Chains A and B, each alone.
Chain A
Amino acid sequence: MDAYLSSYATIGALALVGVVIIGGAFLVNRLLRPRRPNAAAGKRDTYECGLDPVPGGWAQMHIRYYLYAYLYVLFAVEAIFLFPWAVVYLEAGRAVIVEMAIFVGVLALGLLYAWRKRALTWQ
Protein backbone atom coordinates (compact mmCIF):
# COMPACT_ATOMS: atom_id res chain seq x y z
CA MET A 1 0.00 0.00 0.00
CA ASP A 2 2.84 2.33 0.84
CA ALA A 3 4.43 1.46 -2.47
CA TYR A 4 1.11 2.25 -4.16
CA LEU A 5 0.92 5.69 -2.62
CA SER A 6 4.56 6.55 -3.09
CA SER A 7 4.26 5.73 -6.76
CA TYR A 8 2.16 8.88 -6.94
CA ALA A 9 4.92 10.92 -5.32
CA THR A 10 6.49 11.51 -8.73
CA ILE A 11 3.23 12.92 -10.01
CA GLY A 12 2.94 15.09 -6.94
CA ALA A 13 6.46 16.41 -7.46
CA LEU A 14 5.73 17.06 -11.12
CA ALA A 15 2.58 18.96 -10.26
CA LEU A 16 4.55 21.02 -7.77
CA VAL A 17 7.17 21.84 -10.39
CA GLY A 18 4.40 22.84 -12.79
CA VAL A 19 2.88 25.19 -10.23
CA VAL A 20 6.28 26.72 -9.50
CA ILE A 21 7.06 27.27 -13.19
CA ILE A 22 3.75 28.87 -14.04
CA GLY A 23 3.57 30.89 -10.84
CA GLY A 24 7.17 31.95 -11.30
CA ALA A 25 6.51 33.09 -14.85
CA PHE A 26 3.68 35.28 -13.70
CA LEU A 27 5.79 36.65 -10.87
CA VAL A 28 8.69 37.48 -13.15
CA ASN A 29 6.29 39.08 -15.59
CA ARG A 30 4.94 41.28 -12.86
CA LEU A 31 8.39 42.30 -11.67
CA LEU A 32 9.73 43.16 -15.09
CA ARG A 33 6.82 44.97 -16.70
CA PRO A 34 6.59 48.79 -16.70
CA ARG A 35 4.53 50.16 -13.83
CA ARG A 36 2.48 52.71 -15.73
CA PRO A 37 1.41 51.65 -19.15
CA ASN A 38 0.26 54.49 -21.36
CA ALA A 39 -3.49 54.65 -20.94
CA ALA A 40 -4.51 57.90 -22.48
CA ALA A 41 -8.22 58.72 -22.42
CA GLY A 42 -10.06 57.39 -25.46
CA LYS A 43 -7.18 55.16 -26.47
CA ARG A 44 -9.32 52.07 -26.54
CA ASP A 45 -12.51 53.57 -27.98
CA THR A 46 -13.88 52.36 -31.25
CA TYR A 47 -13.04 54.75 -34.03
CA GLU A 48 -15.59 55.80 -36.63
CA CYS A 49 -17.40 52.48 -36.57
CA GLY A 50 -18.74 49.76 -34.37
CA LEU A 51 -20.72 49.88 -31.18
CA ASP A 52 -19.70 52.18 -28.38
CA PRO A 53 -18.32 49.94 -25.64
CA VAL A 54 -21.14 50.70 -23.24
CA PRO A 55 -22.35 47.51 -21.49
CA GLY A 56 -20.39 44.40 -20.44
CA GLY A 57 -18.41 42.36 -22.86
CA TRP A 58 -20.59 39.28 -22.67
CA ALA A 59 -22.69 38.28 -25.64
CA GLN A 60 -24.94 35.27 -25.73
CA MET A 61 -23.34 32.30 -27.38
CA HIS A 62 -25.16 30.40 -30.07
CA ILE A 63 -26.62 27.08 -28.97
CA ARG A 64 -24.83 25.26 -31.80
CA TYR A 65 -21.55 25.38 -29.88
CA TYR A 66 -23.22 23.40 -27.15
CA LEU A 67 -23.80 20.56 -29.56
CA TYR A 68 -20.08 20.18 -30.11
CA ALA A 69 -19.39 20.26 -26.40
CA TYR A 70 -22.04 17.61 -25.93
CA LEU A 71 -20.76 15.32 -28.64
CA TYR A 72 -17.30 15.68 -27.13
CA VAL A 73 -18.60 14.54 -23.73
CA LEU A 74 -20.25 11.51 -25.31
CA PHE A 75 -17.06 10.40 -26.95
CA ALA A 76 -15.07 11.10 -23.80
CA VAL A 77 -17.35 8.63 -22.01
CA GLU A 78 -16.83 6.16 -24.82
CA ALA A 79 -13.07 6.53 -24.50
CA ILE A 80 -13.35 5.78 -20.80
CA PHE A 81 -14.90 2.41 -21.64
CA LEU A 82 -12.26 1.73 -24.26
CA PHE A 83 -9.50 1.96 -21.69
CA PRO A 84 -10.33 -1.13 -19.58
CA TRP A 85 -11.18 -2.94 -22.78
CA ALA A 86 -7.75 -2.23 -24.19
CA VAL A 87 -6.00 -4.02 -21.32
CA VAL A 88 -7.97 -7.26 -21.64
CA TYR A 89 -8.98 -7.81 -25.24
CA LEU A 90 -5.85 -9.67 -26.26
CA GLU A 91 -6.31 -12.38 -23.68
CA ALA A 92 -10.08 -12.32 -23.75
CA GLY A 93 -10.50 -13.13 -27.40
CA ARG A 94 -13.11 -12.55 -29.99
CA ALA A 95 -16.19 -12.19 -27.80
CA VAL A 96 -14.94 -9.09 -26.02
CA ILE A 97 -13.81 -7.53 -29.28
CA VAL A 98 -17.31 -8.05 -30.67
CA GLU A 99 -18.82 -6.52 -27.53
CA MET A 100 -16.78 -3.38 -27.95
CA ALA A 101 -17.51 -3.32 -31.67
CA ILE A 102 -21.23 -3.24 -30.89
CA PHE A 103 -20.76 -0.49 -28.34
CA VAL A 104 -18.66 1.67 -30.64
CA GLY A 105 -20.92 0.83 -33.57
CA VAL A 106 -24.01 2.11 -31.79
CA LEU A 107 -22.20 5.32 -30.91
CA ALA A 108 -20.94 5.66 -34.45
CA LEU A 109 -24.58 5.52 -35.45
CA GLY A 110 -25.07 8.69 -33.45
CA LEU A 111 -22.21 10.31 -35.31
CA LEU A 112 -23.67 9.16 -38.62
CA TYR A 113 -26.99 10.71 -37.64
CA ALA A 114 -25.29 13.97 -36.73
CA TRP A 115 -23.43 13.96 -40.04
CA ARG A 116 -26.59 13.34 -42.06
CA LYS A 117 -28.34 16.16 -40.22
CA ARG A 118 -25.44 18.39 -41.30
CA ALA A 119 -24.58 19.16 -37.71
CA LEU A 120 -20.91 18.62 -38.40
CA THR A 121 -20.59 21.21 -41.17
CA TRP A 122 -20.37 24.81 -40.14
CA GLN A 123 -23.17 26.87 -41.56
Chain B
Amino acid sequence: MSAVQTGEIITFFILAPLAVIGALGMVLARNAVHSALWLILTMLSLGVFYIVQAGPFIGMVQIIVYTGAIMMLFLFVLMLVGRDASDSVIETLRGQKVVGTLLGVGLAGLMATGIYQATRDYTVVGLEAANKDGNVQGLAKLIFTNYVFAFEVTSALLITAAVGAMILAHQEKSGVKAVGQVAKMRERFLPGNYPGPKPGPGVFATSNSVATPAKLPDGNPSQRSISPILPTRELTAAEKADKPTLTGGA
Protein backbone atom coordinates (compact mmCIF):
# COMPACT_ATOMS: atom_id res chain seq x y z
CA MET B 1 0.00 0.00 0.00
CA SER B 2 2.81 2.33 0.80
CA ALA B 3 4.30 1.96 -2.66
CA VAL B 4 3.76 4.93 -4.91
CA GLN B 5 1.68 4.24 -7.99
CA THR B 6 2.71 5.22 -11.50
CA GLY B 7 -0.38 7.35 -12.00
CA GLU B 8 0.40 9.21 -8.82
CA ILE B 9 3.94 9.91 -9.97
CA ILE B 10 2.80 11.20 -13.35
CA THR B 11 0.16 13.43 -11.76
CA PHE B 12 2.68 14.75 -9.28
CA PHE B 13 5.30 15.65 -11.85
CA ILE B 14 2.77 17.41 -14.04
CA LEU B 15 1.07 19.35 -11.26
CA ALA B 16 3.96 20.08 -8.89
CA PRO B 17 5.73 22.44 -11.34
CA LEU B 18 2.37 24.04 -12.10
CA ALA B 19 1.75 24.61 -8.39
CA VAL B 20 5.16 26.21 -7.96
CA ILE B 21 4.70 28.33 -11.09
CA GLY B 22 1.32 29.42 -9.78
CA ALA B 23 2.83 30.40 -6.44
CA LEU B 24 5.65 32.34 -8.09
CA GLY B 25 3.22 33.98 -10.49
CA MET B 26 1.06 35.02 -7.60
CA VAL B 27 3.94 36.76 -5.86
CA LEU B 28 5.44 38.28 -8.98
CA ALA B 29 2.37 39.31 -10.99
CA ARG B 30 1.96 43.06 -11.32
CA ASN B 31 -1.79 42.96 -11.61
CA ALA B 32 -3.63 41.90 -8.48
CA VAL B 33 -6.31 40.03 -10.43
CA HIS B 34 -3.61 38.02 -12.19
CA SER B 35 -2.13 37.21 -8.80
CA ALA B 36 -5.47 35.84 -7.71
CA LEU B 37 -5.74 33.71 -10.85
CA TRP B 38 -2.24 32.31 -10.32
CA LEU B 39 -3.23 31.45 -6.77
CA ILE B 40 -6.23 29.52 -8.09
CA LEU B 41 -3.85 27.42 -10.19
CA THR B 42 -1.79 26.58 -7.12
CA MET B 43 -4.83 25.77 -5.02
CA LEU B 44 -6.36 23.54 -7.68
CA SER B 45 -3.08 21.64 -8.04
CA LEU B 46 -2.96 21.15 -4.27
CA GLY B 47 -6.54 19.92 -4.33
CA VAL B 48 -5.64 17.30 -6.90
CA PHE B 49 -2.62 16.26 -4.80
CA TYR B 50 -4.87 15.62 -1.83
CA ILE B 51 -7.20 13.52 -3.94
CA VAL B 52 -4.33 11.55 -5.40
CA GLN B 53 -3.03 10.86 -1.90
CA ALA B 54 -6.32 9.17 -1.04
CA GLY B 55 -7.85 12.14 0.73
CA PRO B 56 -10.76 12.90 -1.59
CA PHE B 57 -12.69 14.82 1.05
CA ILE B 58 -9.95 17.28 1.87
CA GLY B 59 -9.22 17.62 -1.84
CA MET B 60 -12.80 18.59 -2.56
CA VAL B 61 -12.83 20.96 0.41
CA GLN B 62 -9.72 22.57 -0.97
CA ILE B 63 -11.44 23.09 -4.30
CA ILE B 64 -14.86 24.12 -3.00
CA VAL B 65 -13.87 26.28 -0.05
CA TYR B 66 -10.52 27.67 -1.12
CA THR B 67 -10.75 28.00 -4.87
CA GLY B 68 -14.46 28.70 -4.61
CA ALA B 69 -15.40 30.68 -1.56
CA ILE B 70 -12.11 32.12 -0.34
CA MET B 71 -10.96 33.15 -3.80
CA MET B 72 -14.27 34.89 -4.30
CA LEU B 73 -13.57 36.78 -1.10
CA PHE B 74 -10.16 37.74 -2.52
CA LEU B 75 -11.75 39.08 -5.67
CA PHE B 76 -14.24 41.10 -3.63
CA VAL B 77 -11.35 42.64 -1.76
CA LEU B 78 -9.61 43.42 -5.03
CA MET B 79 -12.72 45.20 -6.22
CA LEU B 80 -12.75 47.12 -2.95
CA VAL B 81 -9.17 48.33 -3.09
CA GLY B 82 -8.98 48.70 -6.83
CA ARG B 83 -7.55 46.71 -9.67
CA ASP B 84 -4.97 49.39 -10.34
CA ALA B 85 -3.82 49.74 -6.76
CA SER B 86 -0.26 48.55 -6.44
CA ASP B 87 2.03 48.23 -3.49
CA SER B 88 4.10 51.15 -2.41
CA VAL B 89 7.70 50.54 -3.38
CA ILE B 90 9.00 52.82 -0.65
CA GLU B 91 10.60 50.80 2.10
CA THR B 92 9.99 52.12 5.56
CA LEU B 93 12.97 50.15 6.77
CA ARG B 94 15.96 50.24 4.44
CA GLY B 95 16.90 46.92 2.93
CA GLN B 96 13.76 45.33 4.28
CA LYS B 97 12.93 43.50 1.08
CA VAL B 98 16.39 42.04 0.63
CA VAL B 99 16.67 40.89 4.22
CA GLY B 100 13.13 39.58 4.15
CA THR B 101 13.76 37.60 0.98
CA LEU B 102 17.01 36.17 2.32
CA LEU B 103 15.41 35.15 5.61
CA GLY B 104 12.43 33.67 3.82
CA VAL B 105 14.56 31.63 1.45
CA GLY B 106 16.76 30.60 4.36
CA LEU B 107 13.81 29.42 6.41
CA ALA B 108 12.32 27.57 3.45
CA GLY B 109 15.67 25.85 2.77
CA LEU B 110 16.11 24.93 6.38
CA MET B 111 12.60 23.53 6.69
CA ALA B 112 12.83 21.67 3.39
CA THR B 113 16.14 19.97 4.17
CA GLY B 114 15.07 19.29 7.75
CA ILE B 115 11.81 17.67 6.78
CA TYR B 116 13.42 15.80 3.90
CA GLN B 117 16.09 14.40 6.21
CA ALA B 118 13.54 13.53 8.85
CA THR B 119 11.00 11.83 6.64
CA ARG B 120 13.34 10.11 4.18
CA ASP B 121 13.21 6.75 5.89
CA TYR B 122 9.58 6.92 6.82
CA THR B 123 7.18 4.33 5.60
CA VAL B 124 3.58 5.24 5.11
CA VAL B 125 1.37 3.53 7.66
CA GLY B 126 -2.25 3.64 8.63
CA LEU B 127 -3.75 4.85 5.38
CA GLU B 128 -5.71 1.66 4.89
CA ALA B 129 -7.00 1.71 8.45
CA ALA B 130 -8.02 5.34 8.20
CA ASN B 131 -9.92 4.88 4.96
CA LYS B 132 -11.35 1.48 5.88
CA ASP B 133 -15.00 2.56 5.90
CA GLY B 134 -14.43 5.24 3.35
CA ASN B 135 -12.57 8.50 3.68
CA VAL B 136 -15.50 10.69 4.67
CA GLN B 137 -16.81 8.13 7.15
CA GLY B 138 -13.37 7.91 8.76
CA LEU B 139 -13.23 11.68 9.14
CA ALA B 140 -16.75 11.82 10.50
CA LYS B 141 -15.85 9.25 13.11
CA LEU B 142 -13.02 11.47 14.39
CA ILE B 143 -14.90 14.76 14.16
CA PHE B 144 -17.93 13.50 16.05
CA THR B 145 -16.11 11.56 18.74
CA ASN B 146 -12.73 12.64 20.03
CA TYR B 147 -12.70 16.08 18.50
CA VAL B 148 -16.35 16.88 19.06
CA PHE B 149 -15.49 19.70 21.44
CA ALA B 150 -13.14 21.32 18.94
CA PHE B 151 -15.85 20.90 16.32
CA GLU B 152 -18.49 22.65 18.40
CA VAL B 153 -16.06 25.39 19.32
CA THR B 154 -15.47 25.96 15.62
CA SER B 155 -19.04 27.21 15.46
CA ALA B 156 -18.06 29.85 18.00
CA LEU B 157 -15.25 30.84 15.68
CA LEU B 158 -17.61 31.12 12.74
CA ILE B 159 -20.19 33.19 14.60
CA THR B 160 -17.43 35.49 15.85
CA ALA B 161 -16.40 35.96 12.25
CA ALA B 162 -19.99 36.71 11.24
CA VAL B 163 -20.43 39.26 14.02
CA GLY B 164 -17.04 40.76 13.21
CA ALA B 165 -17.89 41.13 9.54
CA MET B 166 -21.13 42.81 10.52
CA ILE B 167 -19.38 45.22 12.87
CA LEU B 168 -16.67 46.19 10.43
CA ALA B 169 -18.61 46.25 7.18
CA HIS B 170 -22.24 47.00 7.94
CA GLN B 171 -23.62 50.46 8.64
CA GLU B 172 -26.89 50.49 10.40
CA LYS B 173 -29.29 53.01 9.03
CA SER B 174 -30.26 55.30 11.85
CA GLY B 175 -33.99 55.77 11.95
CA VAL B 176 -34.29 58.94 9.85
CA LYS B 177 -37.60 60.56 10.56
CA ALA B 178 -39.74 61.57 7.60
CA VAL B 179 -39.41 65.32 7.13
CA GLY B 180 -42.63 67.16 6.41
CA GLN B 181 -43.07 69.52 3.51
CA VAL B 182 -43.28 72.59 5.77
CA ALA B 183 -40.04 71.73 7.54
CA LYS B 184 -38.34 71.12 4.22
CA MET B 185 -39.45 74.50 2.94
CA ARG B 186 -38.27 76.27 6.10
CA GLU B 187 -34.90 74.63 5.77
CA ARG B 188 -34.66 75.70 2.16
CA PHE B 189 -35.19 79.36 2.95
CA LEU B 190 -32.93 79.45 5.99
CA PRO B 191 -30.28 82.19 5.87
CA GLY B 192 -27.12 80.96 4.20
CA ASN B 193 -28.94 78.54 1.97
CA TYR B 194 -29.41 79.09 -1.74
CA PRO B 195 -33.10 78.56 -2.42
CA GLY B 196 -32.97 78.47 -6.19
CA PRO B 197 -32.24 75.37 -8.23
CA LYS B 198 -28.64 74.54 -8.90
CA PRO B 199 -27.37 75.52 -12.34
CA GLY B 200 -27.45 72.56 -14.66
CA PRO B 201 -24.13 71.32 -15.89
CA GLY B 202 -23.12 72.62 -19.20
CA VAL B 203 -25.67 75.41 -19.47
CA PHE B 204 -23.13 77.89 -20.74
CA ALA B 205 -20.36 75.39 -21.23
CA THR B 206 -19.10 73.89 -24.43
CA SER B 207 -19.02 70.29 -23.24
CA ASN B 208 -22.00 68.12 -22.49
CA SER B 209 -20.34 66.21 -19.68
CA VAL B 210 -21.65 66.44 -16.13
CA ALA B 211 -18.06 66.79 -15.05
CA THR B 212 -17.70 70.10 -16.81
CA PRO B 213 -18.83 72.95 -14.62
CA ALA B 214 -21.50 75.31 -15.83
CA LYS B 215 -20.28 78.76 -16.76
CA LEU B 216 -21.68 81.74 -14.99
CA PRO B 217 -22.58 84.78 -17.13
CA ASP B 218 -19.25 86.37 -16.22
CA GLY B 219 -17.42 83.38 -17.64
CA ASN B 220 -16.34 81.79 -14.34
CA PRO B 221 -17.07 78.14 -13.73
CA SER B 222 -19.78 77.51 -11.16
CA GLN B 223 -18.65 74.99 -8.56
CA ARG B 224 -22.25 74.57 -7.45
CA SER B 225 -23.08 72.91 -10.72
CA ILE B 226 -20.83 69.91 -10.14
CA SER B 227 -21.80 67.08 -7.90
CA PRO B 228 -19.24 66.74 -5.10
CA ILE B 229 -18.93 63.01 -5.67
CA LEU B 230 -17.61 63.39 -9.22
CA PRO B 231 -13.88 63.14 -9.68
CA THR B 232 -12.33 66.38 -10.82
CA ARG B 233 -10.37 66.25 -14.03
CA GLU B 234 -8.36 68.53 -16.20
CA LEU B 235 -10.43 70.32 -18.81
CA THR B 236 -9.17 70.66 -22.33
CA ALA B 237 -8.83 74.09 -23.91
CA ALA B 238 -11.88 73.42 -26.06
CA GLU B 239 -13.94 72.65 -23.01
CA LYS B 240 -12.72 75.72 -21.21
CA ALA B 241 -13.48 78.01 -24.11
CA ASP B 242 -16.43 80.32 -23.81
CA LYS B 243 -19.56 79.66 -25.76
CA PRO B 244 -20.17 81.97 -28.69
CA THR B 245 -23.29 83.30 -26.99
CA LEU B 246 -21.11 84.62 -24.17
CA THR B 247 -18.55 86.36 -26.32
CA GLY B 248 -21.28 87.90 -28.40
CA GLY B 249 -21.42 85.84 -31.51
CA ALA B 250 -18.53 85.12 -33.86
Contacts and interface: CB of A to CB of B under 8 A. Distances in A.
Interface in A29-84: 46-52, 54-56, 58, 60-61, 63-67, 69-74, 76-78, 80-81, 83-84
A56 B233 CA distance: 13
Q: Is the interface of B mostly helix, strand, loop or mixed?
A: helix
Interface string B132-159: 0010110111011000100110111011
Interface size class of A (residues with CB under 8 A): 35 or more
Contacts of B151: 81, 99, 103
Q: Is the interface of A mostly helix, strand, loop or mixed?
A: helix
Contacts of A65: 76, 79
A66 to B, nearest CB: 5
Nearest to A61: B79
Nearest to A110: B162
Given A54-B233, A55-B231, A103-B152, 13 more contacts: A50-B210, A51-B211, A58-B83, A58-B84, A63-B169, A64-B171, A66-B77, A67-B170, A70-B162, A72-B72, A77-B69, A80-B61, A84-B140
Interface of B: 1, 5, 7-8, 51-52, 54, 57, 61, 64-65, 68-70, 72-73, 76-77, 79-80, 82-84, 134, 136-137, 139-141, 143-144, 148, 151-152, 154-156, 158-159, 161-163, 165-166, 169-173, 207-211, 230-231, 233
